[in-house]
Chain A
Amino acid sequence: MKTIFIICLVVNLLFSVDAKMEIVKTKSILPTINVLLSKKTDNKELSNKLIKLINQDLKVSGHFNVYEFNNDNITSNDRLIMKENGIDLSLTLELTQNNDSSILLSISLFDLNINKLVINTNLTTSNKNRYPFLSHRTAILINDHLKAPSIKWMDRFVIFSRILDSKESEIVISDYTLTYEKVIIKGGFNLFPKWSDKTQRSFYYTTYNKNIPTLLKYDLFTKKIKKIIKSDGMLVLSDISKDYKKLLLTMSPKGQPDIYLFNLETKYKTQLTNYDGIDVGANFIEDDKKIVFVSDRLKYPNIFVKELKKSGAQKFIYHGKNNSSLTSYKDYIVYKSRDIKNEFGYSSFNLYLVSSKSDFMMRLTTFGVNEFPKFSIDGESILFIKTYNNKSSIGIIRINYNKSFLFPLKVGRIQSIDW
């Protein structure tokens, strides 16, 4: 009997040891990469800007440790020094600038662990001002080579409206760091731009150039403008359905701001909310069967949820006394919430991530005024604007990697942004 008991005890202890070892094994290790400039590169100033951006892109991806040498004399031939510093991959860049303002970027990636050149290719652009996109495409190339989760969103455009002066704004497209900028619409009062679909070939925006707010669609390639709908008082497009056929609008045809669903094919509009106060900023969730929106029906801005085919709305967020500025991706919502009582002086507005299917809630920022959150097309990143000590930055939160990055905002005050 005693012997059987001892044998059982020993076997039990062995299983316990195995369970602990399983937990330790799941920690991941990131490859270390460094980026160097070839001695034969043209335009050292532009080349250095490129290196800085590529280092940034690789860090933002969350898939690399970036090693930046302090010594400019290190070259791609110093592989022994690199190995001693624990570097796994060495990227060498060579920029060739042509007379017609086009540039060619030669990329060589050497894998120090297998002692082999694994990428040797060229990327080009016809306009040197577009160099940020060369950086993003380089980072995507290296990322794809390692078969890491996709970061193709880095090569997409951000669109925003910027206030120049009272009643004057312009619409701009840029890369995700806002380093490259191109003004698309200038002059007058043009606001709330939103990409019409994932191709980013056209976008919607509201114009106030005439007395009646009107929603227009602009084709970037043909420069053609199409009128969609107009409304007295105010008109804002807040979200588009997954099939790109229905729009969620805040309109006020009778001077009362409510949420409407507009069908682009039938041109039929359905009033979704009917409340005497403020209902704005609706976003689709749960396979476009429900909407979340901002309303003051509890006498302060808060988030509510409503099924499309039913009347009545329910309170969605039970935390905070001033919740607004929504973005959604599938069943997830990010919103802005005021964290400090005093609305003047050093206000703190932070971003929160919640799920519509569970009690999950996570605070994404900790200080400053954080607003305009937007999910990336794959739902893995959030773009936002942070203002702190009178300085504004554009921020990227990589949700699955628990990291966030800030890039300085150059000029103007952003009115609205879409990714």
Chain B
Amino acid sequence: MKNCILFIFVLFIVSCSQNSLEVPQTSEESLNKIDRKSSIDKSKGNYLEVAGNKEFVSNIYFEFDKYSLDENGLKLIKSNALKLLKLKSNIKIKLEGNSDEFGTDEYNYALALKRAKSVKDILVKNGIKASSITIFSYGEINPVCKDKTKGCWSKNRRVEHKLIP
């Protein structure tokens, strides 16, 4: 009985000391730890329920009047694909294409659809089944911001990911 209590006490001391080892001694150390993990900008994606966990799936952004992907876009889609591969087979992914306000609405609908298709093609290359993805276009009528600035327009040129049970 005494040995048992002693054993538990030693375990407790060891675990505390391990925890105390993880506490930074200086602000510099704290900031180094914080900066190592980048913060998530919730406006740049959606949290989706994947295999019981909330996974952040990034939006994909596009240049003006373009539906081709840049290096950053390709990297983000690859990262998204790794998370989405854990989805159950009965769950479908809906890719919603969006555009800024320039151009005619019909052209912007097609442009937004092409953006969604570009993202779909890369997701499929990274292992997601084509039959589990549907694409959809909102054109210019689903903006995330309405200011007349370059920053705002670039935020609207995006593809978002949603899940359909």
Task: Give the segment of B6-14, B16-24, B32-40, B103-111 that binds chain A.
Answer: B103-111
- Closest chain A CB from B88 CB (angstroms): 19
In the complex, the answer to whether B65 meets A300 with C-beta atoms within 8 Å is yes
One of B64, B111, B113, B138 near A255 (C-beta < 8 A): B113
Cβ-defined contact, B103 with A301, below 8 A: yes
| Nearest Cβ on chain B to A223's Cβ, whole angstroms | 25
* Nearest neighbor of A256 in chain B, beta-carbon distance: B117
Judge whether B150 is part of the interface by a CB distance below 8 angstroms. yes
Indicate whether B120 reaches chain A with its CB closer than 8 angstroms: yes
Interface centre among A211, A250, A278, A343 (most CB of B within 10 A): A278
B164 near A211 (CB under 8 angstroms)? yes
Q: Which listed segment binds B: A125-133, A135-143, A163-171, A399-407?
A: A163-171
Which B residues lie within 8 Å of A256 (CB)?
117
Segment among A41-49, A197-205, A232-240 that sits at the interface with chain B: A232-240
Residue of B nearest to A257 (CB): B110
Q: What are the interface flags for B26-57 relative to A under an 8 Å C-beta threshold, 1 for contact and 0 otherwise?
A: 00000000000000000000000000000000
Knowing A163-B141, A232-B135, A233-B137, say if A324 contacts B107 (CB, 8 Å).
Answer: yes
Interface residues on A, range: 35 or more
Residues in A with CB closer than 8 Å to B114 are 257, 277-278
B33 to nearest A CB, angstroms? 39
> Is A15 at the interface (CB under 8 A from chain B)?
no
On whether the beta carbons of B113 and A281 are closer than 8 Å, the reply is no
Contact of B107 among A255, A301, A390, A415 (CB under 8 A): A301
Distance of A294 Cα from B64 Cα, bound (Å) = 18
Residue on A with the closest CB to B102? A343
Is the pair A232, B134 in contact by a Cβ cutoff of 8 Å? yes
Confirm or deny: B61 has a beta carbon within 8 angstroms of a beta carbon on chain A: no
Chain B residue nearest to A237 (CB atoms) is B106
Which among B104, B116, B150 is the interface contact of A324 at CB below 8 angstroms?
B104
Contacts of B134 in A (CB 8 A): 211, 232
> Chain A 229-256, CB within 8 Å of chain B: the 1/0 string?
0001110101000000000001010011
- Using known A-B contacts A257-B114, A325-B104, determine if residue A344 contacts B141 with beta carbons closer than 8 Å: no
A406 to B38, alpha carbons, bound, how many Å? 52
- How far is A252 from B110 in the complex, measured between Cα atoms in Å? 9
Residues of B within 8 A of A280 (CB): 106-107, 109-110
Indicate if A365 sits at the interface (CB-CB under 8 A): no
Select B104's contact among A234, A279, A336, beta carbons within 8 Å: A336
A236 with B106: CB separation less than 8 A: yes
Specify the chain B residue showing the minimal Cβ separation from A414.
B105
How would residues 247 to 272 of chain A score, 1 for a CB under 8 Å from any chain B CB and 0 otherwise?
Answer: 00010100111000000000000000
Assuming A278-B114, A344-B150, is B106 touching A238 (CB within 8 A)? yes
Instruction: Decide if A371 is an interface residue (CB 8 Å cutoff).
Output: yes
Whether B62 sits at the interface, judged by CB under 8 Å, is no
Given contacts A166-B143, A232-B135, contact A255 B120 (CB under 8 A): yes
* Alpha-carbon separation in the docked complex, A257 to B136 (Å): 12
State A336–B102 Cα separation when bound (angstroms).
12
Let me know if A347 and B110 touch, CB within 8 A: no
A104 to chain B, nearest CB (A): 42
Q: In the complex, what residues of A have CB within 8 A of residue B113's CB? A: 233-234, 252, 255, 257
Is A218 an interface residue when CB atoms closer than 8 A count as contact? Answer: no
Report the minimum CB–CB distance from B105 to chain A (whole Å): 6
Is A233 in contact with B135, judged by CB distance below 8 angstroms? yes
Known A233-B135, A255-B113; contact A166-B107, beta-carbon cutoff 8 A: no
Q: Which 3 A-B pairs have the closest CB atoms?
A: A257-B110, A325-B104, A278-B110
* Contact sample, A vs B, 28 pairs, CB 8 Å cutoff: A166-B142, A167-B138, A167-B141, A167-B142, A211-B134, A211-B136, A232-B134, A233-B113, A234-B110, A234-B113, A236-B106, A252-B113, A255-B113, A279-B110, A280-B106, A280-B107, A280-B109, A300-B65, A324-B107, A325-B107, A336-B104, A344-B150, A344-B153, A347-B102, A371-B104, A390-B148, A415-B141, A416-B105
Chain A interface residues (CB < 8 Å from chain B): 163, 166-167, 169, 189, 191-192, 211, 232-234, 236, 238, 250, 252, 255-257, 277-281, 294, 300-301, 322, 324-325, 336, 343-344, 347, 371-372, 390, 415-416
